Amino acid sequence: MKRMGFILAFTAALLLFPAEGRAQDLKTRALNIWNKLMAPDKNLDSTYVFQPFKGWNVSTTYQGRWDHVGLEIPMEIVTNSSSEQGRTVINLIDNQSHHVGLRGGYGPLELGFSVAVNKKEKPDRNISFNWLSTSFSLQFYHTLIHDSATSTFEFPIGNTPDRMPENASSASIWRVGGFYIFNNKKFSYPSAYQGKLVQRRSAGSFLAGAEFHHSYLTLDKSKSFGTMLLNLTGYSTWKFSLGGGYSFNWVLYHRDASSSRNIQDLRNLTLNITAIPMLIVVNEMGMTHITRSEEEKIQVHGGIQPNFLGRVGICYAWGHFYVNGYFDFNYHRFQGKEQEEKRLRPFLENDDAIYRFKVLGHLSNWTGGVELHYRF
């Protein structure tokens, strides 16, 4: 197993450093990267944080997820003789799933895979990579979701909303996020989620974070979706957020281990609460819809909007085992400026009709899970 870890460090050195002198320095650089990753952190205050030996670990995971992507599109149809207002509300994704999976890693690095067990035909899948160190947290994940989209159409305003037929949808969601931990001497974020460090005394820290989010959603083109005004076939978002918050660990119970390698006597129960308000500074959305017989793409620019990341976790460590439970909440908003398009309505007899609309959207993710870990 140790050899496998060195191979990963060797590959990282191969990618990160230039070709000049690579042959003679590559092994040395790989060893330096590996040793730096796995060495105990000398800056940690041992009164507050205990460092078990950094080694291999494996985990079994259960995760319950609720993903929701929704749009509201107020609209106005203007012709030479009239002006009417309406709106459509579209639930692109309203998905509940139960994932089971495996994770494994060495030191602060972990790679995981999970699959939804409540969907037999097209199960959702999730791949994740985590790097939790004493100074920062970095997370990457990709989720593939299969669901059914629904919509209601109210035109003109005041009429009883019509419910449109369901339409198969799938979404590919990419997220890279992380934060810097300012009080990295006395506070250990991994204590409540990975158990690789152990919080001896209660402590907290301010955080500075960033998140990149991209999602791409497709709809079954064989069905007329949404409304006859907007036959939506695709939807994508690009978002980049910046912000800061606070995280705190409450140590509810602690009993020390004999040493960093002999941890049979270790017992610890730690509760964490983390809140990171953010602002979405890059907020782009694209929609693909059918107008008459061809597809047309609309790019919508959203302004600065609030975003929020929240997490609660609790971890109990006993010897080489540790179990943790957690709850995450992630929320994005989107509000585009008013757009104006001609002849978007294929059934209009008057080709001079103008369709004005605004796109309001939100994306939320609720996640709760339990994980059982073993540390070698």
Ramachandran bin of 284, using left for φ above 0, alpha for ψ from -120 to 50, beta for the remaining angles: beta
Give the whole-number percent of the chain exceeding pLDDT 70: 74
* CATH code where residue 65 lies: 2.40.128
For 31-52, the pLDDT digits (tens) are 776 777 666 777 888 899 988 8
Distance CA 181, CA 206 (A): 6
Higher pLDDT, 350 or 47: 47
CB 308 within 8 A of CB 289: no
Cα–Cα distances (Å) from 68 to 212, 227, 363, in that order, read 18, 20, 6
322 in a domain, yes or no?
yes
- 218, two tokens: 């497709």
For residues 28 and 61, state if they share a domain. Answer: no
Contacts of 37 (CB under 8 A, 6+ apart): 9, 107, 108, 109
The candidate with the shortest Cα–Cα distance to 210, out of 286, 282, 318, is 282
Q: Is the pLDDT of residue 227 over 50?
A: no
Q: What is the mean pLDDT of the chain?
A: 79
Residues 19 and 108 in one domain: no
Give the pLDDT confidence of 269-287 residue by residue, as tens digits: 999 999 999 999 988 887 7
When comparing pLDDT for 297 and 351, which is higher? Answer: 297
Residue 344 is predicted with a pLDDT of 46
Of the candidates 334, 323, 341, the residue with the CA atom closest to the CA atom of residue 238: 334
54 and 24 together in one domain? no
Domain around 369: 50-375
Q: Contact 34/12 with Cβ under 8 angstroms?
A: no
Claim to verify: residue 62 and residue 32 sit in the same structural domain = no
Same domain assignment for residues 346 and 248: yes
The residue among 129 and 301 whose pLDDT is bigger is 129
Least confident of 190-204, 264-278, 294-308, 340-354: 340-354
Sign of CA dihedral 110, 310, 151, 99: positive
Q: Are residues 35 and 112 in the same domain?
A: no
3-state helix, strand, coil in the chain (%, to 5): 10, 60, 30
User: What percent of the chain lies above the pLDDT cut of 90?
Assistant: 27
What is the per-residue pLDDT across 174-212, written as a single tens digit (0 to 9) for each? 999 999 999 999 999 988 887 778 999 999 999 999 999
Looking at the fold, whether 73 and 25 belong to one and the same domain comes out as no
Evaluate whether residue 44 is within a structural domain. no
Considering its fold, how many domains does the chain have in total?
A: 2
Average pLDDT over residues 133-141: 88
Same domain, 7 and 114: no
**230 and 371 co-located in one domain:** yes
Q: Which pLDDT score, from 0 to 100, does residue 226 have?
A: 47
Does residue 313 sit within a domain? yes
Number of H helices, E strands in the chain: 2, 18
Kindly report, residue by residue over 47-95, the tens digit of the pLDDT: 999 888 777 889 999 999 888 887 777 777 776 666 777 777 777 777 7
Indicate whether 165 and 209 sit together in one domain: yes
Cβ neighbour number for residue 14 with a 10 Å cutoff: 13
pLDDT at 235: 78
Residue 45 lies in a domain: no
pLDDT given for residue 225 in this prediction: 47
Query: Does residue 30 sit in the same domain as residue 58?
Result: no
pTM for this predicted structure: 0.78
**Do residues 232 and 150 share a domain?**
yes
Looking at the domain assignment, is residue 196 inside a domain?
yes
Q: Are 111 and 126 in contact (CB under 8 A)?
A: no
